[in-house]
Amino acid sequence: MNLSPLERKFLEMVAKNQLITKNELKTKLNIDGSALDTAASGLVSKRLVATVSPVGSTCYAITQHGTRLLEQLNE
- Domains of the chain, by residue range, sit at 5-67
Q: What is the pLDDT of residues 25-44, one digit of tens each?
A: 999 999 988 999 999 999 99
Distances from the Cα of 22 to the Cαs of 15, 18, 72, in angstroms? 14, 13, 26
Q: Which pLDDT band holds residue 15 (cuts at 50, 70, 90)?
A: very high
What share of the chain has pLDDT > 90, as a percent? 80
Q: What pLDDT band is residue 49 in, cutting at 50, 70 and 90? A: very high
Q: Name the residue among 54, 73, 53 with its Cα closest to residue 12.
A: 73
Residue from 43, 37, 34 nearest 63 by CA: 43
Question: Which fold does the domain 5-67 belong to in CATH?
Answer: Arc Repressor Mutant, subunit A (1.10.10)
Compute the distance between CA of residue 52 and CA of residue 22 in angstroms, rounded to an integer.
10
pLDDT above 90: residue 48: yes
Q: How far apart are CA 13 and CA 19, in angstroms?
A: 9
